[in-house]
Amino acid sequence: MKTLLSLETSCDECSASVIAPADSPSQVRVLSNVIFSQIELHSKFGGIVPEVASRNHLEMFAPVVDEALSTAGIRFKDLSAVGVTQGPGLMGALLVGLSAAKAYSYSLNIPLIPVHHLEGHLHSLFIESQKNVPLPQDMKLPMLVCLVSGGHTNLYLLESLPPESLRLTELSKSRDDAAGEAFDKCAKILGLPYPGGIHIDSLARKGRKDAFAFPRPLPGQNLEFSFSGLKTAVQTEVKKLGFTPHVFGKINSDQLPKEEMLFDLCASVQEAIVQTLVRKIILAKDRTDAQSIAIVGGVSANSRLRELLSHVKLPVYMPDAVYCTDNAAMIGACAYFKWIRNEVPSAVEASRLNAFSS
Ligand code: KG4
Ligand code: ZN
C-alpha cells in the first residue's frame, strides 16, 4: 500500500499524519493524525511566542512522528513519500518541519512534496469518512469556499476536484484582520485564554446575541471583509461598562466582566463576526453560479457559523472539527494528490526548498 507521511508545524500545532489511498479517487484515507498542541505553553503570554513555538517543535516532532507511524501500524521503510507545510506561517516553526521532512526524504530516498498551508486547509474537504462531507462524486460544482482561520478570511470559487489540481478563483479576502484573529483579540480584551475562538463559542451559548451592537463592516455589495474595527469597538464598550481589563499589558482579573455580562459580550462579538461572514458568503453565492458552499479553517469549527449556514438553501460542506484547525492530515491530503499527479520536485530542488512566512 502507498503511504505518505505529512508534517505540519506552521504555527503552534506540531502534527504528523499517515495518509493512504481511499476507495474514491478524490479522497484520502487518514491512518493516523497526531496533533501536539502548544496552547498551554503560549497561554501565559496571551498569544504565540514564535521562539517558544520553534523550540517546542524541535523537541516534539520526532515523538509525534513516531506516534503517527505506530498508530498507523507502519514503519519508516513502508513510506512512499513525505509531505510538509512550506508556508505561510512562523519562519522558525516552519523550518523545523521542513528540515525534518528533508531529512526523512533524503534518508528514506522518497519524494518530498511541499504544500501551501491554505491549499492544505482546502484539502480538508477531501478526507474520507467525515460526517459533514459527502463523497466527492456527489459534491456540486462550482463550490463557494470560505477559508476562515487565524490568519486568513478568503472566499474562493472552486471548479474542480482532486485528483485534479484545485481550480480556484479568489473572490475576496480580508482587508485587515482575519476572522479568527478578531475572535482571538476580542477574547483577549475580555480576559479569556488564547486562542479565544473556542472560548467565545462556548460562552456565547449562554448570552444574548443582540445585547451589544458591534459593527458589521463593509455593509454594501462589497465582498471584502474587515474585522480590525471590532476589537476597538469591544475595547471601548468594555471601558464604558467600567472595566479596566489590562494594566501595564497584563490581565487584571478583578476588573473583567463576569457571568451574564461576559456571556452577552461573547454572544454579541460572535454574532458580529459570524453574521458578517454569512452575509458575504450569501452575497458571493448570489453573484456566482455556485451550486454548493464549503467552509474550512479553524473558525469553520464555530457552532453558530455552522448553525446559520445550515439554513442556506444549498448543500453546505464542512470538515469534522478535528480537520478544521491546523492538522497534518489536510497537508497530507494535498501532498498525496500532488504526488499522484507527479508534481514532485527533484532531489536537488527538494534540498533547496525554503520556508516562506507570508
Ligand atoms: O486554521 P487554524 O487552526 O490556524 C490558522 O491557520 O490560523 O485557525 C485558528 C483560529 C484561531 O483564531 C481560533 O481562535 C479559531 O481558529 N477557532 C475558532 C473556533 N475554533 C478555533 N473560532 C471560532 N469558534 C471556534 N469554535
Ligand atoms: Zn491553518
pLDDT in tens, 22-49: 999 999 999 999 999 999 999 888 789 9
- pLDDT at position 248: 66
CA distances from 198 to 180, 201, 332 (A): 10, 5, 25
Give nearest CA residue, ligand 1 atom 13: 197
- pLDDT at position 250: 72
- pLDDT at position 44: 80
Residues of the chain with pLDDT under 70: 247-249
Ligand 1, atom nearest to 324 Cα: 1
Q: Which long-range contacts (CB under 8 A, 24 or more apart) does 346-352 make?
A: 347/105, 347/106, 350/102, 350/105, 350/111, 350/112, 351/102, 351/106
Nearest bound ligand to CA 151?
1
Cα 197 to averaged position of ligand 1 atoms, centre (Å): 6
Cα 296 to averaged position of ligand 2 atoms, centre (Å): 9
Q: Sign of the CA dihedral 114, 117, 119, 120? A: positive
Give nearest CA residue, ligand 1 atom 23: 197
Chain position carrying cell 451589544? 212
CA angle, 37 then 38 then 40, to 5°: 110
In three state form, how does the secondary structure of 88-118 look? CCCHHHHHHHHHHHHHHHHHHCCCEEEEEHH
Rounded to whole angstroms, the Cα distance separating 168 from 171 reads: 9
Give nearest CA residue, ligand 1 atom 8: 298
Cα 324 to averaged position of ligand 2 atoms, centre (Å): 8
- pLDDT at position 246: 74
- pLDDT at position 231: 95
Nearest bound ligand to CA 199?
1
Nearest bound ligand to CA 120?
2
- pLDDT at position 312: 94
- pLDDT at position 247: 67
Candidate from 181, 198, 277 with most ligand 1 atoms within 8 A of CB, to mutate: 198
Cα 216 to averaged position of ligand 2 atoms, centre (Å): 24
Give nearest CA residue, ligand 1 atom 1: 298
Query: Which neighbouring-strand residues pair with 156?
Result: 145, 170
- The torsion defined by the Cα of 317, 340, 356 and 67, in degrees rounded to 10, comes to 80
CB atoms inside a 10 Å sphere around CB 73: 10
Ligand 1, atom nearest to 10 Cα: 6
Closest CA to 21 of 102, 150, 122, 127: 127
Candidate from 33, 146, 299, 309 with most ligand 1 atoms within 8 A of CB, to mutate: 299
Rounded to whole angstroms, the Cα distance separating 141 from 292 reads: 7
- pLDDT at position 133: 79
Chain position carrying cell 508545524? 9
Give nearest CA residue, ligand 1 atom 21: 298
Task: Identify each DSSP E strand in 128-279 by its residue range.
Answer: 143-148, 153-158, 168-173, 246-247, 250-251
How many angstroms separate the first and last alpha carbons of the chain?
A: 35
Q: Which residues contact 259 (CB under 8 A, 6 or more apart)?
A: none
Return the C-alpha cell found at 107. 534518508
